Amino acid sequence: MTAFWNWAGWIAVVPASQQGATNFLFSALEILYADQTLFDKGWFSFLITSITIILAAIPNIYSQTVLKWTLRTTLITFLILYVTYMIWIPAATARSGTFQDGAILTTFVNGINSSDSPPQASNTYCWIIGLLFGAWDYFGYDTSVHLSEETKSAGTSTARGMWLGTLATWCLSVPVLLIFLFCIQDLNAIISGTYTNNFAELLLQTVGKNSAVAILIICWIDNTIQLAVCILSAQRVTYAIARDGVLPGSKYLSRVSKTHHMPVNAAILVVVLAIAIEASIIGSEVAFEALTAVGTIAVNVSYVIPIVARHTIGRKRFKPASWNLGWASPLLAAAASVWICFLVVVLVLPQLYPVTPQNLNYAPIMIGGITVLSLGAWWLPFGLGGRYWFKGCVRTISEEEVRKAKVVDDDSSFEMGVDT
């Protein structure tokens, strides 16, 4: 179940992330060509998103060197955007407008009720549903784990990547959010804006038309390049569980290319499934929101299973790595488990009232499908189910080979070479 939940979650993340990137691009185009109706067409959004998914997959297929420079490029685009958010937007606001006062931090807008007679969802309910924003931002810690087999000193560096990534997300994102809040000129215009992503309206209010378009284009480029990271993680999960025999066609999905040792078949499957899922959300904001919820729920649930197992059935056999939580481990595990269970409940609740077939949150249906699939794959009779043949993670290198292994540093990747 851990394998199926994590795999399904990361597959869902790929189209959800890139659809968000496409929304940045369309917002920029809507500013430039206000009378153009092409950007409202679902097929056009599907086309652009599908093409960029394929482009983002190329580094994960071609070579480790291309992938390395792709990942480094994300740092450049991120720094450009961060400087823009922290310096340019506040400076433009100070020059052309006024900042919001402290009341902006206590201003609450309940946008869940599409009908005010009578409102069905309270402000508290609205606030709880708003946790989807933070939940979407704070997951993906396992990307470091998916690369652990390709990482030097994995017992230390993998854990460091997880907690440093989380800490950096918090330290860097919170100041940006505060700046955006205080730079708002017209809150109602942002809420009622007609752009595909209403961040465009905030930019128009602060930096003007041309600058807003430039920033949105950079956002699109940045998100598209970072999609390579999402595909990287989904690809490595696909390869790993295929190597363990979990997926149909595992024999082919676990193959790596002879030249660059990349799991090409796994990447192709990720792209095909991502584009197929993208086709299912054409023109539907509700479907897009359900997809982000599915990715968030599925990956988080895949975390809670090993967390609980480590402190229950596995507490005597578990061997901590060189970097571990020590005495705080059971306390943090309990807090994490409660949080994830709470999050799952929140993300399957309706996000608009009154509930109609057009705004229904379809996340529970998709989550139910993943659960049935994983349980069915385990309990299938006649020797087909995983309970008959699944023995755990498959080792692809023996202890003897490990003792004879040497690390080869070719400045593009770290590969294990074996003296035979």
Strand partners, 405: 418
Contacts of 320 (CB under 8 A, 6+ apart): 329
Nearest one of 97, 297, 242 to 183, comparing CA atoms: 97
Nearest one of 236, 223, 293 to 56, comparing CA atoms: 223
Kind plus residue range of the DSSP H or E element containing 384 = none
- The predicted pLDDT at position 206 comes to 92
Residue 417 per-residue DSSP state: E
Phi, psi of 270 (to 5 degrees): -60, -45
Contact 404, 419 (CB under 8 A): yes
Q: What mean pLDDT, rounded, does the chain reach?
A: 84
Residue 130 lies inside a defined structural domain of this protein? yes
* Crossing angle for the helix pair 64-83 and 209-243, to the nearest 10 degrees: 140
Tokens representing residue 305 in the block: 């299973």
Residue 415 has pLDDT above 50, yes or no: no
* Crossing angle for the helix pair 264-280 and 209-243, to the nearest 10 degrees: 130
Of 129-143, 167-181, 330-344, give the lowest mean pLDDT range.
129-143
The confidence band for 413, taking pLDDT boundaries of 50, 70 and 90, is very low
Q: What percentage of the chain carries pLDDT values higher than 70?
A: 92
Residue 353 per-residue DSSP state: B
Three-class DSSP category at 396? coil
CA distances from 272 to 11, 48, 234 (A): 10, 15, 12
Rounded CA-CA distance 320/330 in Å is 13
Residue 117 lies inside a defined structural domain of this protein? yes
- The predicted pLDDT at position 162 comes to 83
CA torsion sign for 362, 365, 368, 372 is negative
Tokens representing residue 69 in the block: 């420079």
CA angle (94, 98, 102) in 5-degree steps:
115
**Tens digit of pLDDT for each residue in 369-396?**
888 888 888 888 888 888 888 877 777 6
The confidence band for 399, taking pLDDT boundaries of 50, 70 and 90, is low
Residue 86 lies inside a defined structural domain of this protein? yes
Contact 412, 65 (CB under 8 A): yes
Tokens representing residue 202 in the block: 């905030």
Residue 169 lies inside a defined structural domain of this protein? yes
Contact 238, 269 (CB under 8 A): yes
CATH number at residue 211: 1.20.1740.10
Number of domains in the chain: 1
Three-class DSSP category at 409? strand
Which amino acid appears at position 170 of this protein? W
- 407 or 13: whose pLDDT is higher? 13
**Tens digit of pLDDT for each residue in 196-237?**
888 999 999 999 999 999 999 999 999 999 899 889 989 999
What's the rounded mean pLDDT across residues 182-195? 89
Containing domain of residue 241, as a range? 2-396
Residue 416 lies inside a defined structural domain of this protein? no
Of 75-84, 133-142, 328-337, 348-357, give the lowest mean pLDDT range.
133-142
Residue 406 lies inside a defined structural domain of this protein? no
Residue 405 lies inside a defined structural domain of this protein? no
- The predicted pLDDT at position 255 comes to 86
Nearest one of 44, 53, 45 to 13, comparing CA atoms: 53
pTM metric for this prediction: 0.84
Tokens representing residue 267 in the block: 């990447």
Residue 182 has pLDDT above 90, yes or no: yes
Residue 196 lies inside a defined structural domain of this protein? yes
